[in-house]
Each structure stands twice: as structure tokens, then as C-alpha cells.
Homo-oligomer: A and B are copies of this chain.
Amino acid sequence: MSGNSFGKLFSVTTFGESHGPAIGCVIDGCPPGMALSEADIQFELDRRKPGTSRHVTQRQESDRVQILSGVYEGVTTGTPIALLIPNEDQRSKDYGNIAETFRPGHADYTYWHKYGVRDPRGGGRSSARLTAPVVGAGAVARKWLKERYGIGFMGCMRQLGEIAIPFQGWEHVANNPFFAATADAALLARLETYMDELRRAGDSIGARIDVVATGVPVGFGQPIYDKLDADIAYAMMGINAVKGVEIGAGFGAVTQKGSEHGDELTPGGFVGNQSGGVLGGISTGQDITVSLAIKPTSSIRVPRRSIDKAGQPAMVETFGRHDPCVGIRATPIAEAMLALVLIDHALMGRAQCGDVRVDTPRI
């Protein structure tokens, strides 16, 4: 209720700060009877973890996850699954200079005003490090959705600053440090150079990410408020640094006519997917397609005007170890969030309509 739990039936409550002893989460509502090991979760955590290339933060964290509960003899029991990820590389002194000032574009200012107290080490609770437990919980959700419905999740970067990245195939995503769905060596080299220059300049850059869920049955979602697309928008806008969310045609729908936008139906299925797989807040059985705008990291070395806690002018330069493009590591996070939304609606659909209807063939 105070904003640290995600989901109603598959509910994930996270805890921890960037430089505390540990971060983690409690997953409440995972159905019983599913095989689950730490390796299932570690795979996704490793996709997100820092230090995997020179283009992301150099903080050294193995992000080794421990399952503390909810699994007995390798099988989920239906009771809460607690995940613990120790913090290993806290360097609180890196942040000493920002404890008394506010970084432009950062939660420093608002946390301090809301709570009257904050943990300034690494951004404390507002750090993107807190997406690690989410990715862990997402891995559990993904496994269940895969086994129960055959649902899969993919994501890729589509734009880095001014550089658009064409989509050539999901198989390329794991082969470069940008989650780019391309094998175009020249383009990848250009991305490398772009990031290297940015890092030298001490600045950061925005990005655009696409995420897709495949194999989703028709019938996930609630009408009016807990619409599937509304919950996706909530999940995505809640990821650190996200400033915009689109489903299907997104802002492209502004200039479309009804006769262009509405996906026609034939006995073989829908013709086109302008809807992004959601109509009236309920899944259509097509791919769910989502697009995100991610702002540039606010912690940069470029000096900026700000104020201190007393309201006096101060210049702020942020040292420490930061992602020059927080959008790079956003792909596995966005996939995890999409999985968390879908499992919640899958369980909700079972509650309301029973399992059978949700599995209705998609014509």
C-alpha cells in the first residue's frame, strides 16, 4: 500500500537500498507445484547485472540470489518465496558530495522533501539497483507463464539518442552489449563509439526500448480500471527513468483513421496488430507490444546548477559509478515487469472465469 508491492495476486514486495547490506523481495502468490531453483532466477539477474560491458556502471556486484523460503525439495509450495541478494560493492564515499545537495533530474530533491530524511548512498531506495529483485521475481513469473501457457518475453533497444536501431531478429539481442536486435557490425560499432564519447564527456543519453509478449491467451485483463494496457503502463512508467509508454500503434494512432487503426478479423485471425494485442483492456491473443521512452541518467559528471538543503546555490558534479545510458540495462527489467503484469492477470482470470475460458482457442 505504501508503494513497495507490485501485483495483487502474484504480489512482489521489495526491500533494500543501494548501499545497505542486502536487497531482495518476497513473492506472495506463486502457484504451488512448479520446479524452481536459484539457477532459474540467476539467468535473468545476470542479464541485468552491472559491469558486463564498459557501457554500463562498473560497480562490481555478482548479484548472487538466495531463495530463503517457499521452495521445498525443488518445488514451489504456494507459500512466500523470499529472494535475498547481498550488496557486495558499496562505496559510500563516492556519494559524499551529494548528501547535502540535489542532483538535477534526480529523486534526491523529492525524497528529501517527502520524508525529511533520506539515505543518500547511491540514491538509497531510488537507485536502479532496486530493479534487481524485480528481475528475480520476474524470472519466477516467466517460468510459470511459459510452462502454463507457453508465453514468452523479448525486448530490445530501438533507439539510442539520435541513433535508430532497426529490428532484424530477436536472435541478435544477446550478441551485443546494447540489447540491439541487429547484427549490423557498422551500426554496432557506431553505438560503441557514441557511448565512448558520451562517457568521456561525462554526460548521459536517453533511449527507446521495445518489449513483446508472445503466446498470450485471449482474455487476460479487466475492464474499466485494471485494464491489461493500463497495468502495463503503470508497470513500465514505474521503471526508473521511463517518461513515456506506448501500446501497439501508440502515438502513431493520433494521425490514424478508424479504418486504418482497427485490426480487421478473418477466420485465420487478426489482420495487423495496431492494438498491440489489447482491446478494451483485455488481451486479444496477439502479441502484446510495448514501447518505452527512457530518459538520460541524471547522475552525470557535467557540472550543473542546483541548491543545497538550505536553499543556497550549489554546483553539482556526480562522480561514483553510473550507467551513461540507463536504457541499456532496461530491456530485461521491462521484460520482467511485463511478466509480472501478465501473471497477475492470468491468476485474476482464473479467479473470475475459471481456467477453461482463458484457454479458449483464439478462433
Contact = CB atoms under 8 A, between A and B. Distances in A.
B350 A311 contact: no
B114 A219 contact: yes
A174 interface: no
Interface in A118-141: 118-119, 124-126, 130
Contacts of A304: 259, 262, 264
What range describes how many residues of A lie at the interface? 35 or more
Given A257-B204, A354-B355, A79 B262 contact: no
20 contacts: A2-B222, A3-B348, A21-B69, A22-B82, A79-B119, A107-B279, A114-B221, A203-B259, A206-B261, A224-B238, A229-B243, A246-B293, A251-B251, A260-B296, A262-B296, A264-B305, A266-B313, A267-B307, A350-B350, A351-B351
A225 B227 CA distance: 17
Q: Which of A20, A76, A300, A360 has its CB near the most chain B CB atoms (within 10 A)?
A: A20
A42 interface: no
Interface stretch (A52-60, A180-188, A268-276): A268-276
Contacts of A39: none
Contacts of A223: 3-4, 79, 107, 111, 125-126
Contacts of A142: none
A112 to B, nearest CB: 9
A124 to B, nearest CB: 7
A1 B6 contact: no
Contact of A110 (B66, B207, B279): B279
Given A4-B223, A21-B68, 9 more contacts: A1-B348, A32-B352, A79-B119, A110-B218, A113-B362, A114-B357, A243-B253, A259-B300, A307-B363
Q: Which of A6, A279, A358 has its CB near the most chain B CB atoms (within 10 A)?
A: A279
A357 B302 CA distance: 32
Nearest to A162: B255
Contact of A354 (B9, B31, B70, B238): B31
A31 B118 contact: no
A265 B307 contact: yes
A44 interface: no
Contact of A243 (B66, B248, B307): B248
